[in-house]
Amino acid sequence: MSYQITTRFAPSPTGAPHIGNIRTAIFAWVYARSHKGRFLLRIEDTDRSREVSGATEAIIDSLEWLKLDWDQNPKFSNLIFQSQRLAIYQKYAEELVKKGCAYVCTCSEERLKELRERQIAAKQPPKYDGCCRGKIQNSKFKIQNYVIRLKVPHEGQTEFFDIIRGKVKFENNLIDDQVLLKSDGYPTYHLANVVDDHLMGVTHVLRAEEWLSSTPKHLLLYKFFGWKPPRFAHLPMILGKDRSKLSKRHRAVSLLEYKKQGYLQEAIFNYLILLGWRPQTDQEIFSRLEIIKQFSLERVQKSPAIFDQEKLDWLNGWYIRQMSASELLDRLIEYGQKFDENKTRSLKI
User: Does residue 248 carry a catalytic annotation?
Assistant: yes
CB 28 within 8 A of CB 40: no
- Identify the bridge partners of residue 160 per DSSP, sorted by sequence position: 168
107 touching Zn ion, by CB under 5 A: yes
What separation in angstroms does the CA of 245 have from each of 20, 27, 257?
Answer: 11, 20, 19
Site string for Zn ion, 113-132 (x = CB under 5 A): ------------------xx
Catalytic residue among 99, 248, 293, 338: 248
CB under 5 A: which stretch of 102-110, 168-176, 245-253, 259-267 binds Zn ion?
Answer: 102-110
Nearest CB to ligand GLU, comparing residues 211 and 335:
211
Q: How many residues does the chain have?
A: 349
81 touching ligand GLU, by CB under 6 A: no
Q: How many residues bind Zn ion (CB under 5 A)?
A: 4
Q: What is the chain's percent helix, strand, coil content, to nearest 5?
A: 45, 15, 40
105 touching Zn ion, by CB under 5 A: yes
83 C-beta neighbours (distance < 10 Å), count: 17
At its nearest, how many Å lie between ligand GLU and the CB of residue 122? 31
**Beta carbons within 8 Å of 185's beta carbon, 6+ residues apart:** 86, 90
Nearest CB to ligand GLU, comparing residues 10 and 275:
10
Nearest CB to ligand GLU, comparing residues 11 and 336:
11
112 touching Zn ion, by CB under 5 A: no
CB 63 within 8 A of CB 10: no
12 touching ligand GLU, by CB under 6 A: yes
- Identify the bridge partners of residue 43 per DSSP, sorted by sequence position: 81
Q: Which of 6, 7, 10, 252 binds ligand GLU (CB under 6 A)?
A: 10
Which of positions 39-68 make contact with ligand GLU (CB under 6 A)? 44
193 touching ligand GLU, by CB under 6 A: yes
Nearest CB to ligand GLU, comparing residues 6 and 193:
193
d(CA 163, CA 273) in angstroms, rounded, equals 17
DSSP-assigned letter for residue 44: -
Q: Which of 33, 38, 151, 207 binds ligand GLU (CB under 6 A)?
A: 207
Q: Which of 65, 81, 211, 222 binds ligand GLU (CB under 6 A)?
A: 211
Which does residue 105 bind out of Zn ion, ligand GLU, none, counting CB within 5 to 8 angstroms by kind?
A: Zn ion
CB under 6 A: which stretch of 10-18, 113-121, 241-249, 291-299 binds ligand GLU?
Answer: 10-18
What separation in angstroms does the CA of 257 have from each of 108, 112, 126, 254?
Answer: 43, 41, 38, 5
Nearest CB to ligand GLU, comparing residues 24 and 270:
24
Q: How many residues bind ligand GLU (CB under 6 A)?
A: 8
CB 220 within 8 A of CB 158: yes
Q: Is 181 helix (H, G, I), strand (E, B) or coil?
A: strand
238 touching Zn ion, by CB under 5 A: no
At its nearest, how many Å lie between ligand GLU and the CB of residue 143? 30
Exposed e or buried b per residue across 9-44, where buried means at least 16 C-beta atoms within 10 angstroms of its C-beta: bbbbbebbbbbbbbbbbbbbbbbbbbbebbbbbbbb
At its nearest, how many Å lie between Zn ion and the CB of residue 143? 12
Helices (H), 124-252: 189-199, 215-225
Element (H, E) at 103: strand 102-105
Give the footprint of ligand GLU on this chain (CB under 6 A).
10-12, 44, 189, 193, 207, 211
Give the footprint of Zn ion on this chain (CB under 5 A).
105, 107, 131-132
Instruction: Indicate which residues carry an active-site annotation.
Output: 248
